[in-house]
Amino acid sequence: MNREKSNHLYERAKKVIPGGVNSPVRAFKSVNNTPFYVKSADGAYLVDEDGFRYLDYVLSWGAIILGHAHPGLIEEVSKAISVGTSFGACHRYEIELAERIVEAFPSIDMVRLTSSGTEATMSAIRLARGYTGKEGIIKFIGCYHGHVDALLVKAGSGLVTFGIPDSKGIIADYAKHTYIADFNSIESVHRIIKNNKNIACVIIEPVMGNMGVILPEETFLKDLESMCRENEILLIFDEVITGFRLIYGGAQHIYNIKPDITCLGKIIGGGFPIGAFGGRKDIMDILAPTGDVYQAGTLSGNPVAVRAGIYTLDYLKKNQSIYKQMYEYSTTLEKEILDLANSYGIPYRINKITGMWTGFFADTDIHNYAGAIKSDRQLYERFFKLMLEEGIFFAPSPFEASFLSLNHKEDELIKTIDAFKKVFKRLSHG
């Protein structure tokens, strides 16, 4: 593929933007490639500056559930822009979006809007510390909650007592309050809590999406909820990805969990930057201006993003058959891909839930971080490049989720299966 215009833009970008990108994964470094530059998007497709058209399974990392440039959404946003792009003051639409979120989540009595998912998780942790008077945080290796200092830590082995900074610029004395547990291992959480009585909260993606899709096993989330209750630890669900993507609501509805605080983003802005965190009234009431935990943002509740979110949530509520459509699409896709992998001798496993899925090049099932990182990264790199040649855009990393929109229909299914057949055949020949 001759991406002359995209390559030229990338060279320009590197002169004025660190690494040429505004978010690291966009650099395509993990697949030893250079990024294409999007010129336009429509439905399930992206078109780059060189005129190549791609069937999009990244979908702005899950935010675009109605498809790109959805006509009704564009009309609503146009109306919003026509009366002002930012007020820095209260307006009725932020109330309307908050009301919809509260109605959709039984665990949320009150909600505060932010400008990003990272702001939501950062604020939720500060809130948990303020409410409990404790400092410690438990997170799970492989779960990503934004570039918050306290959360950019990793484990040197399956379980370590203290977190190690995963980025320069993070103070070790600050990161040491973050403890690392293993996803799907309630025993690892128990060991941390047993040895540390200063835990304010546990934060988790109930369905992992940032190490690829990894589902919670059996009673893991229920056991985690019970353990938090028994030890007066707040449970925070990071549903920035899963909120309104799996169901009208979140993963907590599917697994019958009632977290103390929920973080949202992506879909609730209809493709515009937004985030939110909410929970029980007694917890949320300690936020300023009614309480002493400070959190603020000039663009929080931005009128354009909020109206886009209202439109999107209303559309999803009225058209919940979208979730059935996505489930049927992913189920058919899974069967066809696994049949192809088997016939061509390709080690491949698929983890999926409605609206999101990940294919791992592995010969065993993936249940946690340790399993995911053993998957074949070099094989994924070849797969990614070959799929681009076939006009299919997957995430430029083996450890990300793929997403569906309402515009992924029969034609897109056929195109995808045909591409997998061609690519697996080429991979099988070395």
Catalogue the active-site residues.
144, 238, 266
Which contiguous run of DSSP H or E holds residue 188?
helix 186-195
* Selection from 63, 60, 14 nearest residue 34 by Cα: 14
Q: Given the structure tokens 């999009």, which residue do they identify? A: 56
Q: In this structure, are residues 30 and 398 in contact, taking their beta carbons and an 8 Å threshold? A: yes
Q: In this structure, are residues 205 and 255 in contact, taking their beta carbons and an 8 Å threshold? A: no
69-to-45, 97, 270, 402, 414 alpha-carbon distances in Å: 10, 21, 10, 19, 23
In angstroms, the CA 305 to CA 53 distance is 27
Q: Give the CA angle between residues 109, 113, 116 to the nearest 5°.
A: 130
In angstroms, the CA 276 to CA 105 distance is 13
Q: In this structure, are residues 208 and 237 in contact, taking their beta carbons and an 8 Å threshold? A: no
In angstroms, the CA 260 to CA 255 distance is 15
In angstroms, the CA 75 to CA 309 distance is 13
* Selection from 40, 13, 5, 202 nearest residue 121 by Cα: 202
In angstroms, the CA 211 to CA 209 distance is 6
- 259-291 burial by CB neighbour count: b if 16+ within 10 A, else e? bbbbbbbbbbbbbbbbbbbbbbeebbeebeeee
281-to-57, 261, 287, 290, 347 alpha-carbon distances in Å: 38, 10, 10, 12, 49
Q: Given the structure tokens 């591409």, which residue do they identify? A: 419
Q: Is residue 304 classed as helix, strand or coil in its secondary structure?
A: helix
* Selection from 22, 27, 59, 31 nearest residue 398 by Cα: 31
